[in-house]
């Protein structure tokens, strides 16, 4: 993937996170000329969330498997076989991936985004019509708002200007492309508190995620990578503040009261506030996902809270659908596929964001009843029902790993 000044891309992708790279890979395998620009100076730079782990559901793992990426994504990943949900301390539901009809793989993975990115870059390196430009800061978009925009980036070697047919903005919550394109977006900070801490996996742990809803808020116990367990606590700001003002043992007691069987294990392994991570999450709602030849992908269109672990999943699914729609548009069929994707996808995304908001209230008085706060397991595992046909069609038309077609 050497760079040259004569390369005129069909598509520019801004952002070399998992969603941007997947879109670039799928388009490159279809014979499209693709340039990926990334502000990180080299592939070894820290990508968003690359150092942590994310939950990737079976529907998304199935897409990665079809794209020849599941092996790379599985490096250092931990497997999850299902989930249990508790309301007020009582078991409300048991779920197993293997029991779901049409489940592409019988497990979810807690994987390291960095491993997935490495696998994607290795695949992209095999495509002669894909270029990677590192250390590239977006400077400006040329052309009229809502029309065909050019892209100018600043690199260590100087400024470069590109004139792609389509410009995919996969540059995150604070998207420079979105702003320069004049696409308004609501970026809203969560009103509640998010804390998590990792511990070793207990000897008797059974590879099941457990979600606890109650007066304490929301407590999740799930896998972090292949050898860790992470406890996530989402609660209102006042409740969290009451704990954060004291010793870490107060936090351990709150968690142990919710999950007594883990109490001794948590007390043994969480002994200092430095082990506890506090994160401020945001949601993004862009007024439109497509403006002229600018297409928003993933967090730049609809960033969301970590509750339900759908940020990476929805972004990778978006990449599959949008790569198909952009390729179709480049074949002369116009932007109908892009418009249709947003029409089908947006209501689901916004309902998911609303569900996340009910679980992240600013005060305990604003919390919804427990049964209104739990996501639907089957939808998390298999994806939005309305989007499944689009995913199936896109992957059915996708050349397999190592091959591509020319138009």
Convert the pLDDT of each residue in 244-265 to its tens digit: 999 999 999 999 999 999 999 9
CATH of the domain at 216: 3.30.9.10
pLDDT digits (tens, 9 = 90+) for 53-82: 899 999 999 999 999 999 999 999 999 999
Q: Does 97 reside within a domain?
A: no
Q: How confident is the model at residue 164 (pLDDT cuts 50, 70, 90)?
A: very high
Is residue 406 over pLDDT 50? no
213 and 180 housed in the same domain: no
- The residue with greater pLDDT, 137 or 372, is 137
Q: Does 3 reside within a domain?
A: no
274 and 290 housed in the same domain: no
β-pairing verdict for 34-38 and 54-56: unpaired
Say what percent of the chain tops pLDDT 90: 83
pLDDT of residue 47: 57
Among residues 278, 293, 327, the one where a domain terminates is 278
117 and 37 housed in the same domain: yes
41 and 130 housed in the same domain: yes
Q: Does 123 reside within a domain?
A: yes
Q: Does 336 reside within a domain?
A: yes
Mean pLDDT (the chain, rounded)? 91
Is residue 196 over pLDDT 90? yes
Mean pLDDT (whole number) for 350-371:
74
pLDDT of residue 3: 41
Among residues 261, 278, 295, the one where a domain terminates is 278
Q: How many domains does the chain have?
A: 2
Q: How confident is the model at residue 1 (pLDDT cuts 50, 70, 90)?
A: very low
Q: Does 230 reside within a domain?
A: yes
* Token pair 């388009």: residue: 27
> In this structure, are residues 12 and 162 in contact, taking their beta carbons and an 8 Å threshold?
yes
251 and 119 housed in the same domain: no
> In this structure, are residues 195 and 236 in contact, taking their beta carbons and an 8 Å threshold?
no
233 and 306 housed in the same domain: no
Q: Does 139 reside within a domain?
A: yes
pLDDT digits (tens, 9 = 90+) for 318-335: 999 999 999 999 999 999
pTM of the model: 0.93
> In this structure, are residues 168 and 281 in contact, taking their beta carbons and an 8 Å threshold?
no
Q: Does 343 reside within a domain?
A: yes
Beta bridge partners of 390: none
pLDDT of residue 372: 64
Range of the domain at 369: 11-78+107-189+282-396
226 and 352 housed in the same domain: no
First to last CA, the chain: 20
Long-range contacts made by residues 399-403, C-beta under 8 angstroms, separation at least 24?
399/29, 399/30, 400/66, 400/68, 401/29, 401/67, 401/68, 401/69, 401/123, 402/68, 402/126, 403/29
335 and 383 housed in the same domain: yes
212 and 344 housed in the same domain: no
Question: Which H, E and C letters describe the chain, residue by residue?
Answer: CCCCCCCCCCEEEECCCHHHHHHHHHHHHCCCCEEEEECCCCCCCCCCCCCCCEEECHHHHHHHHHCCCHHHHCCCCEEECEEEEEECCEEEEEEEHHHCCCCCCCCEEEECHHHHHHHHHHHHCCCCCEEEEECCEEEEEECCCCCCCEEEEEECCEEEEECCCEEEECCCCCCHHHHHCCCCEEEEECCCEEEEEEEECCCCCCCEEEEEEECCEEEEEEEECCCEEEEEEEECHHHHHHHHCCCHHHHHHHHHHHCHHHHHHHHHHCCCHHHEEECCCEEEEECCCEECCEEECCHHHHCCCCCCCCHHHHHHHHHHHHHHHHHHHHHHHCCHHHHHHHHHHHHHHHHHHHHHHHCCCCCHHHCCCHHHCCCCHHHHHHCCHHHHHHHHHHHHCCCCCCCCCCC
153 and 56 housed in the same domain: yes
178 and 202 housed in the same domain: no
Say what percent of the chain tops pLDDT 70: 91
Among residues 278, 293, 313, the one where a domain terminates is 278
> In this structure, are residues 330 and 26 in contact, taking their beta carbons and an 8 Å threshold?
no
172 and 234 housed in the same domain: no
Q: Does 334 reside within a domain?
A: yes
- Enter the tokens of residue 49: 């969330």
- Enter the tokens of residue 167: 């410009």
């Amino acid at each position: 993937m050497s760079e040259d000044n004569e390369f005129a891309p069909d598509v520019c992708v801004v952002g070399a996170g998992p969603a941007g790279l997947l879109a670039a890979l799928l388009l490159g395998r279809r014979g499209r000329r693709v340039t990926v620009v990334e502000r990180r100076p080299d592939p070894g730079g820290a990508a968003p969330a690359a150092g942590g782990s994310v939950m990737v559901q079976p529907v998304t793992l199935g897409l990665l498997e079809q794209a020849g990426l599941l092996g790379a994504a599985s490096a250092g990943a931990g497997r999850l076989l299902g989930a249990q949900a508790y309301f007020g301390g009582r078991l409300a539901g048991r779920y197993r991936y293997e029991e779901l009809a049409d489940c592409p793989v019988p497990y979810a993975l807690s994987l390291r985004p960095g491993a997935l990115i490495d696998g994607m870059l290795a695949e992209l390196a095999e495509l002669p019509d894909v270029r990677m430009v590192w250390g590239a800061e977006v400077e400006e978009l040329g052309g009229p708002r809502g029309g065909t925009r050019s892209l100018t980036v600043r690199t260590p070697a100087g400024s470069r200007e590109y004139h792609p047919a389509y410009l995919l903005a996969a540059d995150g919550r604070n998207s420079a492309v979105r702003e320069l394109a004049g696409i308004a977006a609501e970026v809203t900070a969560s009103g509640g508190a998010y804390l998590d801490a990792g511990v070793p996996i207990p000897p008797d742990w059974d590879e099941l995620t457990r979600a606890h809803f109650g007066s304490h808020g929301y407590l999740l116990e799930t896998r972090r990578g292949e050898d860790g367990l992470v406890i996530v606590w989402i609660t209102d700001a006042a409740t969290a503040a009451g704990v954060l003002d004291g010793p870490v043992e107060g936090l351990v007691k709150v968690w142990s009261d919710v999950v007594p069987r883990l109490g001794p294990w948590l007390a043994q392994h969480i002994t200092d506030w430095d082990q506890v991570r506090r994160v401020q999450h945001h949601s993004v709602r862009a007024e439109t996902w497509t403006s002229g030849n600018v297409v928003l992908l993933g967090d730049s269109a609809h960033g969301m809270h970590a509750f339900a672990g759908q940020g990476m999943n929805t972004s990778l699914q978006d990449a599959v659908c949008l790569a198909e729609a952009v390729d179709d548009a480049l074949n002369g069929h116009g932007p109908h596929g892009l418009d249709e994707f947003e029409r089908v996808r947006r209501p689901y995304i916004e309902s998911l964001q609303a569900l996340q908001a009910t679980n992240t209230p600013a005060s305990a008085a604003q919390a919804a009843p427990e049964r209104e706060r739990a996501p639907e397991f089957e939808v998390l595992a298999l994806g939005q029902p309305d989007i499944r046909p689009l995913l199936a069609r896109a992957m059915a038309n996708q050349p397999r790993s190592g091959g591509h077609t020319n138009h």
